[in-house]
Chains A and B, each alone.
Chain A
């Protein structure tokens, strides 16, 4: 043993060379060791549920910082890094993700983008929400301003995904989940969107409830445009259902006898109450105009255009909206078409005949009350009568051969008189008109068919 001490006193000389070796060893190995440890530390926490992971290695010491989503997750991530072979010390820079109280998440849609903001519970959930937003919105840009926080209510993901489905149905608006309360505001993209969203809210996961649903429906618009040049009546916009659609088109067909009805209507839900009860008479008013537009927006009716003569303009202004149900607004902007030039009596007769071949003046069945369907025709007859100021006109009423001859004669007389009264109300002097009832004495078709009878029930204008 004594010898060993003696020998060892001489070993210090070699230590000088050893120091040189050591210098080389540190110079060549430090960086490879560090990068190897960093790689293995990163691999150890690759699957850990962490945000803002950062691993820095100096020598064999690892500085590890990250945000964990639970105390357990934090402990196990730290243990994983400490367990990496070769690591000497771990400088613990980990912390828990802050807890959000209340836990608020929102999706806001405007014209060009959807902005997701607030808190998401986990990075994967955040990714899933962004992906879902992109899937539900197609080409709309998705801006992510979400942070991560603890404290999400149970089944948050399902609720948020359901809300992202709804954001696709909005034109603009905002959906917010605050803890377990959902609030929605904005404007639905399409008619029926508001109802669809309300229905979807029933599928909210257990524990969630709707705090406020202020989604508005887009305006319910119906339009009719009477174009005298193209001789068309164009219907566009929405109608509530098939039945109303058919009724409107049929009514338009009866009232606009000289125009082709172009039907571009779309059946959509969300119509205001009493839609048909308003639109049918409003179309009647439009039928009396030379040219005009009817726009029904939600509960607001706007009729604009040119009446055929002054009295008609006044009647339309006064009549529109008279029978509208409560809650409806209306506005009539009626001007009067410049009067056409006078014509001589033979032309006048021809014009009457032309009008009355296109359509017949209708009455309530068995009565002498003018049908509202015929007001457009009556206005045109009045306008024509105004153009021949010197003509005396016989208004001749005819019936079919059904029933008692005396009654038929009386009915045809009263009907002819009703037409004459209408013309007088239009501003024509009463003494120019003679109302005559011929009953069934002057048939123009056989009375053995329904069609023939219909042709025989007529009012003729005869210029004297």
Chain B
């Protein structure tokens, strides 16, 4: 990814996104709330798909284009952090619960 070459200016925020994702993933396994699902959830994912499409097609010019790329990279790392955190928590929970 070309963004790598300018990552020196925002790597801290990328790391923060990853850690935030890890934390949210960790929590999401045991949290009992409703979350955002159904129509809202689909709409949000659709929004993400649209934004990714815009970024890949480089349709947004100048600074907004850069901001979009940066936002999507941060979101991507956030999702990666969430996934890792959730699976790790799920693994920990499964180990600590005695087999029924």
Chain A residues in 8 Å Cβ range of B23: 14
Which A residues are in CB contact (< 8 Å) with B44?
12
Question: Complex: how many Å from CA A61 to CA B65?
Answer: 8
Report how many A-B pairs have Cβ atoms within 8 Å: 129
Find out whether the CB atom of A58 lies under 8 angstroms from the CB atom of B63. Answer: yes
A435 at the interface (CB under 8 A from B): no
In angstroms, Cα B16 to Cα A18, docked, is 9
B interface size (C-beta, 8 A): 44
Contacts of B61 in A (CB 8 A): 58-59, 61, 89
In the complex the two chains form, what is the Cα distance from A17 to B81 in whole Å? Answer: 14
Q: Does A30 interact with chain B (Cβ within 8 Å)?
A: yes
CB contact between B66 and one of A8, A10, A21, A33 (< 8 Å): that residue: A33
Choose the segment among A80-88, A181-189, A334-342, A390-398 that binds chain B (4+ C-beta atoms closer than 8 Å). A80-88
Q: Which of B2-34 contact A (CB under 8 A)?
A: 2-3, 5-6, 9-10, 13, 16-17, 20-21, 23-25, 27-29, 31, 33-34
Measured CB to CB, the residues of A under 8 A from B are 3-4, 6-15, 17-18, 21-22, 24-26, 28-30, 32-33, 36-37, 58-61, 85-89
> Can you add 19 more A-B contacts, CB < 8 Å, to A9-B37, A11-B28, A18-B21?
A7-B82, A8-B28, A10-B33, A11-B82, A13-B24, A14-B78, A21-B13, A22-B74, A29-B13, A30-B63, A30-B66, A30-B67, A36-B6, A59-B61, A59-B63, A60-B6, A60-B65, A86-B2, A88-B66
Bound-state Cα–Cα, A8 to B31, Å: 11
Query: A14–B63 contact, CB under 8 A?
Result: no
Q: How far is the CB of B92 from chain A (nearest CB, A)?
A: 14
Select from chain B the residue with minimum beta-carbon distance to A22: B71
Select one of A9, A22, A61, A87 contacting B2, CB under 8 A: A87
A11 touches B90 (CB 8 A): no
Whether A9 pairs with B36 at a CB distance below 8 angstroms is: yes
A-B contact pairs, 12 of them (CB 8 A): A7-B28, A8-B86, A11-B78, A12-B41, A13-B36, A21-B20, A28-B10, A61-B66, A85-B2, A86-B3, A86-B5, A88-B65
